[in-house]
Amino acid sequence: MSCGTLPAPVRTVPKTIMIDIEKKDDVCLLRFRGNFHTGEDLDYLRAKMDEIKTVNCPKVLADFEDVPLVGSTGISFLVELYRNSGGRFVLVKTQRRVREVLDITRLSTVFPLAADVESGLAVLRSKLSAPQSGLPG
């Protein structure tokens, strides 16, 4: 065995979407992992949306670092999160293909986007302290 540097750990992404919910003060930090395919996992997504509502966070930060792909189901879920939070919502760490979908749907002009969790939290705590109205009700 040689004494070289170890390779970086391989990040595995689930085939279907998984959502971890963590409450940090008045913010729900949602960590998404996997592909947000159209029409898949609807029961899981309904249950997660109910859980998010139960946690009752006035602000939502969605971490998309481990989401390489998003379809219409994912877009609908994000729009519902945005509406439920009254616009106090930030999407962070979007990958290139997800960002392309947000640009095509023009949601990148509605959802505040941030490079990382820390800057997303800063946005939520400063500019978005009052409800926003970027989407028609």
DSSP 52: H
Given a cut of 60, is residue 25 above it in pLDDT? yes
* Residue 10 DSSP symbol: P
| 18-125: CATH class | alpha beta
Ranges of each domain in the chain:
18-125
Per-residue pLDDT band for 87 (boundaries 50, 70, 90) equals confident
Q: What is the mean pLDDT of the chain?
A: 84
Most confident of 4-8, 57-61, 93-97: 93-97
What are phi and psi for residue 40, nearest 5 degrees?
Answer: -100, 155
Q: Is 37 exposed, middle or buried (0-12, 13-18, 19+ CB in 10 A)?
A: middle
Q: What is the mean pLDDT of residues 99-124?
A: 94
pTM for the complete prediction? 0.80
